[in-house]
């Protein structure tokens, strides 16, 4: 018997009720059972629902609902799995089984109340309350942040503000890549570090601050200098890369690795009173090399360790990067893809220009084979 | 493109890194019918500044982008892109600081 025919048979015996009707029945004693998988439930479930996956339904229903006369409502993403589960419960003797028509998708679309399940414990509900109530984010957006794995290249001027706000917002896993130790001259802009940590590895100093801010975030340290030999192994564990590095060699390496691994690259760079931000999309165009095909010749590139910077400027640019990360993870708004934001602190101006996707780009043009990592010289010997 | 040969006065906006080569001006006026002509006009008075934007061979340096009214000239006609009176030519070089 085909699935379609079987479902038609089941529908003759099992009533379908609307989500609104289901909610009303819950309030008068019906048991609502969410039969979806755990990762679906993580994105939200009706508050009254009991999570009982399809796989264990027959084994656990006896404990959950000992009275086979009890009204039972079944909910999946749409309707199919609930109908199949309803037929099973019928065979087990449950006489009063109904299916929520349209499932959780319709439940949510109709604006009925739902919650983050167990992962969103009391801590998370308090911690993120003021952003979860944003309709654009909601429990589903918060769950996406919690599942996201973001790696920050550099725990410095850009990485500090980005890491602080991403940890605060509840990004589940934050990776920190930096081979440096904290110096006193870093502290005017690298605000994730502290004076009493001068000499400590930056990844460790940042971990201490971030875990103090939000103990529920998982911090992973990568105390190393990225090179062609290790970049893929480090970045491959993440969903999204934030480029806050301080030299051209690392920027090209990170861009090329993101292209190769199909990771979005949230780019930020600063010099003096100016900063740039953009998002280079996962496996798409344009990439960093479309924007800047080659690094400047060394005689035209300011030495990174000598170049001046006002701490507020990487603060602003790093936060714009954090904002783009949150938008990419949650799907809120328009990502900064194909656009470059230019910030000038002296004019207090923020303007954007449109980027050109180079049809001949060796790294991101469609159909190109990965040309390998360039042996870029280090411009900064920091 | 009927006005392709008509010189226009445009504003060239400079990044901070290049402003010392322009007498610390944030922007300079230049006249020409195309981006190349406007840059040549700029180079007449500020040759060192121009050398940071174009190579000796007169090509746009690969770490520099030029935008006319927010559009990358590489996606138009490059240095041959026609300019119009009042246009803004924005110079954006690569920076790496973090
Ligand atoms: Zn590209």
pLDDT for B4 equals: 52
Residue B15 forms contact with A (CB below 8 Å): yes
pLDDT for A304 equals: 53
Nearest CA in chain A to B90: A353
Cα of A288 vs centre of ligand 1, distance in Å, is 6
Domain-embedded: residue B87: yes
Residue A53 forms contact with B (CB below 8 Å): no
pLDDT for A380 equals: 44
Chain A residues closer than 8 Å to B90 by CB: 342, 353
Alpha helices in A98-177 (DSSP H): 103-109, 122-127, 129-132, 138-147, 159-169
A264: nearest Cα among A231, A233, A246, A288: A288
Hey, of A273, A286, A300, A343, which one would you mutate to test binding to chain B, going by the most B CBs within 10 A of its CB? Answer: A300
Residues with Cβ < 8 Å from A96, sequence gap 6 or more? A69, A70, A71, A72
Alpha helices in chain A (DSSP H): 3-13, 19-27, 38-41, 57-64, 80-91, 103-109, 122-127, 129-132, 138-147, 159-169, 202-213, 231-235, 248-261, 288-291, 312-330
Determine whether the interchain pair B74/A356 forms a contact, defined as Cβ–Cβ distance below 8 Å.
yes
Q: Are strands B88-93 and B8-13 parallel, antiparallel or unpaired?
A: parallel
Residues with Cβ < 8 Å from A362, sequence gap 6 or more? A289, A368, A371
A184 vs A288: CA distance, rounded Å: 32
A237 vs A230: CA distance, rounded Å: 12
In Å, what is the CA distance from A61 to each residue of A27, A67, A94, A220? 20, 10, 10, 40
- For residues A178-194, average pLDDT: 97
How confident is residue A382, by pLDDT bands cut at 50, 70 and 90? very low
Determine whether the interchain pair B96/A291 forms a contact, defined as Cβ–Cβ distance below 8 Å.
no
B72 vs B66: CA distance, rounded Å: 6
**Number of structural domains found in chain B:** 1
pLDDT for A118 equals: 60
Q: What is the CATH number for B60?
A: 3.10.20.30
- For residues A91-101, average pLDDT: 94
Residue-wise pLDDT for A254-285, tens only, equals 999 999 999 999 999 999 999 999 999 998 89
pLDDT for A22 equals: 94
Chain A residues closer than 8 Å to B67 by CB: 353-354
Domain-embedded: residue B20: yes
Determine whether the interchain pair A274/B16 forms a contact, defined as Cβ–Cβ distance below 8 Å.
yes
Low-confidence ranges of chain B (pLDDT < 50): 1-2
3-state SS, residue B67: strand
A55 vs A167: CA distance, rounded Å: 35
pLDDT for A201 equals: 98
Domain-embedded: residue B44: yes
Residues A231, A235, A236, A238: what is their CA dihedral angle, to the nearest 10 degrees? 180
Residue A324 forms contact with B (CB below 8 Å): no
Residues with Cβ < 8 Å from A317, sequence gap 6 or more? A158, A268, A269, A270, A275, A276, A277, A343
- A375 has a pLDDT exceeding 80: no
Residue A179 forms contact with B (CB below 8 Å): no
Determine whether the interchain pair B92/A356 forms a contact, defined as Cβ–Cβ distance below 8 Å.
no
Chain B residues closer than 8 Å to A156 by CB: 98
Q: What is the ipTM of this complex?
A: 0.92
Tell the residue number behind the tokens 């949510």, with chain if given.
A108
pLDDT for A223 equals: 97
Residues A76, A78, A79, A80: what is their CA dihedral angle, to the nearest 10 degrees? -90
Residue-wise pLDDT for A105-151, tens only, equals 999 999 888 887 665 567 888 899 999 999 999 989 999 999 999 99
- 8 A C-beta contact, residue A190 and residue A156: yes
By Cβ distance, the residue of B72, B95, B96 closest to A354 is: B72
Residue B95 forms contact with A (CB below 8 Å): yes
Cα of A267 vs centre of ligand 1, distance in Å, is 14
By Cβ distance, the residue of B62, B67, B96 closest to A293 is: B62
Residue B98 forms contact with A (CB below 8 Å): yes
- For residues A68-87, average pLDDT: 94
Token representation of residue A281: 């999309």
Domain-embedded: residue B47: yes
Share of chain A above pLDDT 90, in %: 73
Determine whether the interchain pair B98/A156 forms a contact, defined as Cβ–Cβ distance below 8 Å.
yes
pLDDT for A302 equals: 64
Domain-embedded: residue B51: yes
Q: How many CB pairs under 8 A join A and B?
A: 93
pLDDT for A303 equals: 56
Least confident of A71-85, A298-312, B10-24: A298-312
A263: nearest Cα among A157, A162, A176, A364: A364
Domain-embedded: residue B2: no
Q: How far apart are the first and last CA of chain B?
A: 43
- For residues A70-87, average pLDDT: 94
Q: Show the domains of chain A with their CATH numbers.
A: 3-119 (3.40.250.10), 148-354 (3.40.50.720)
A49 vs A27: CA distance, rounded Å: 12
Residue B38 lies in domain: 8-93
Nearest CA in chain B to A243: B98
Domain-embedded: residue B89: yes
Domain-embedded: residue B49: yes
Residue-wise pLDDT for A41-73, tens only, equals 878 889 888 888 888 888 889 878 989 999 999
């Amino acid at each position: 018997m085909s699935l379609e025919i079987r479902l038609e048979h089941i529908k003759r015996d099992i009533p379908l009720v609307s989500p609104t009707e289901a909610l009303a029945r819950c309030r008068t004693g019906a048991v609502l059972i969410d039969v979806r998988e755990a990762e679906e439930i993580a994105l939200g479930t009706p508050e009254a629902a009991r999570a009982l996956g399809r796989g264990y339904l027959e084994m656990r229903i006896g404990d959950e609902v000992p009275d086979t006369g009890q009204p039972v409502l079944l909910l999946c993403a749409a309707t199919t799995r609930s109908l199949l589960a309803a037929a099973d419960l019928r065979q087990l003797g449950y006489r009063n089984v109904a299916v929520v028509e349209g499932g959780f998708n319709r439940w949510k679309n109709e604006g009925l109340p739902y919650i983050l399940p167990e992962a969103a414990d009391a801590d998370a509900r308090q911690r993120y309350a003021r952003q979860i109530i944003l309709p654009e984010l909601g429990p589903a957006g918060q769950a996406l942040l919690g599942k996201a794995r973001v790696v920050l290249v550099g725990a410095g001027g850009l990485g500090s503000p980005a890491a602080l706000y991403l940890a605060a917002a509840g990004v589940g896993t934050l990776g920190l890549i930096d081979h440096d130790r904290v110096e006193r001259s870093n502290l005017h802009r690298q605000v994730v570090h502290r004076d009493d940590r001068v000499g400590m590895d930056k990844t460790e100093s940042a971990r201490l601050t971030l875990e103090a801010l939000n103990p529920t975030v998982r911090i992973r340290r990568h105390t190393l200098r990225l090179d062609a030999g290790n970049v893929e192994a480090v970045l491959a564990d993440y969903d999204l890369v934030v480029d806050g590095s301080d030299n051209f060699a690392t920027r090209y390496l990170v861009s090329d690795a993101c292209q190769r691994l199909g990771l979005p690259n949230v780019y930020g760079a600063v010099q003096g009173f100016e900063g740039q931000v953009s998002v280079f999309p996962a496996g798409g165009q344009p990439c960093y090399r479309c924007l800047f095909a080659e690094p400047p010749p060394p005689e035209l590139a300011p030495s990174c360790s000598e170049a001046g910077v006002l701490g507020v400027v990487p603060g602003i640019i790093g936060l714009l990067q954090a904002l783009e990360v949150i938008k990419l993870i949650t799907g809120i708004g328009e990502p900064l893809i194909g656009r470059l934001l230019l910030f000038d602190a002296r004019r207090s101006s923020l303007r954007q220009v449109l980027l050109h996707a180079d049809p001949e780009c060796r790294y991101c043009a469609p159909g190109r084979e990965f040309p390998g990592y360039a042996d870029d010289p280090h411009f900064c010997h920091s | 493109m009927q006005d392709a040969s008509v010189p226009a006065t445009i504003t060239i906006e400079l990044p901070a890194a290049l402003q010392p080569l322009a007498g610390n001006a944030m922007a300079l006026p230049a006249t020409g019918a195309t981006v190349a002509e406007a840059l040549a006009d700029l180079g007449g008075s500020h040759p060192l500044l121009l050398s940071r934007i174009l190579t000796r061979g007169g090509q746009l340096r690969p770490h520099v982008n030029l935008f006319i009214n927010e559009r990358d000239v590489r996606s138009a006609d490059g240095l041959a892109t026609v300019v119009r009176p009042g246009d803004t030519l924005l110079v954006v070089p690569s920076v790496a600081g973090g």
